[in-house]
Homo-oligomer: A and B are copies of this chain.
Amino acid sequence: MRTGPEPNAIVAALPAVTPFVGPEALERQMGAPFHLRLGANESLFGPSPRALAAMQSAAVGGYLYNDPEGFDLRSEIARVEEVSLENVCLGAGIDDLLLLTCRAFLQPGRVAVTSLGGYPTFNYAVAGCGGSIYSVAYRSDAVDVEGLAEAAQRTGATLVYLANPDNPSGSFASRSSVEGLRSELPAGCLLILDEAYADFVPRSERPVFDPEDPQVVRMRTFSKAHGMAGLRVGYALGPSSLMGLYEKIRLHFAVNIVAQAGALASLRDPEHVARVVGQMPSIRDFLSAECRKLGLSTLPSFTNFVNVDLGSPERSLRLLQELQRRGVFVRRPFAEPLNRCIRVTLAPIPTMQAFILELEAALGALGS
């Protein structure tokens, strides 16, 4: 039997890694389901009831192809974001849009700058397109925005990735800080602003950019505040020239008919997102206060998750494993200095109470 083709030079050099091991895979390994799923920053408040109704209705018509232009959804996004239709591109989540951006710009010899310990799927996309990653360490448990600018200049980077608010740190770079980063970008460098968690920050505090700015693309998702993680809808906001470039290489049918309908209905029900976002401060305070009773501090957060500080990477790893053994799914940030923490999704209070009971028991099992 003859052999198949060799992969191309870029793919041949890739290691066998998966950006994320999902909780389902962990459950299969353990042979038991998680009873608390607080590790993926999903919205346990669910989607808007109107979005759910729209999705169930759209499924009936799912024997027809989805609109590859996503015209209705893009029109609504353009209205809400106050940009033109030509400034909007849909994707199957921000993952899809990150890959698209890497496919458009990277090749061997080009550099992407990001935070050390930031979103692994971005690094996966960079590697998959032959680019090189340059990582900037966190500073004071937050993204080092000035460090990103400095690294971009020093490396002649093609892409700079900033999640704002950031995952996994939960930190938020101020409007002036991000606008400052943009102004310090070298020519020929694009800032990817991953705003997956931006819904949790007041609009007035977010950076402002001309939608036709050739050096900025913003990415948003329906996975977090909109409560539609499993549906896979995100969008990019950026200059029409960039959207035109995406158009040449994107998978046109990537956002399915149910996802398009749900996202559209969710945008038309802003009260739902406002209700979810509005509950975050009190839940965050509740979790922090309960942790304090257990002798643990928490990091500031501008998102729907909180990092609980265990003091050392060894202790946070042991706690992660003990919680997992008890059927509780949380995550531990990969890189220093945040790997001393466990990252916990903020959920309705009864779920948080259940988590605190498990945390207390797990800490007891660990000893002091």
Residue ranges of A at the interface with B (Cβ–Cβ < 8 Å) = 1-11, 14-20, 22, 24-25, 28, 37, 40, 42-47, 52, 55-56, 58-69, 71, 92-93, 95-96, 99, 103-107, 110, 128, 158-159, 185-190, 213-215, 223, 227-232, 239, 241-242, 244-245, 247-249, 251-254, 256-259, 262
Contact = CB atoms under 8 A, between A and B. Distances in A.
Contacts of A43: 63
A252 B20 CA distance: 9
A193 B42 CA distance: 38
A248 B5 contact: no
B253 A256 contact: no
Given A1-B214, A6-B188, A92-B92, 14 more contacts: A4-B239, A5-B159, A11-B105, A14-B248, A20-B252, A24-B69, A47-B62, A55-B62, A58-B230, A61-B230, A64-B229, A66-B229, A230-B257, A231-B257
Nearest to A215: B4
A168 B99 CA distance: 31
Contacts of A11: 103-105, 245, 248-249
Contacts of A6: 105, 188
Given A92-B256, A103-B11, A215 B2 contact: yes
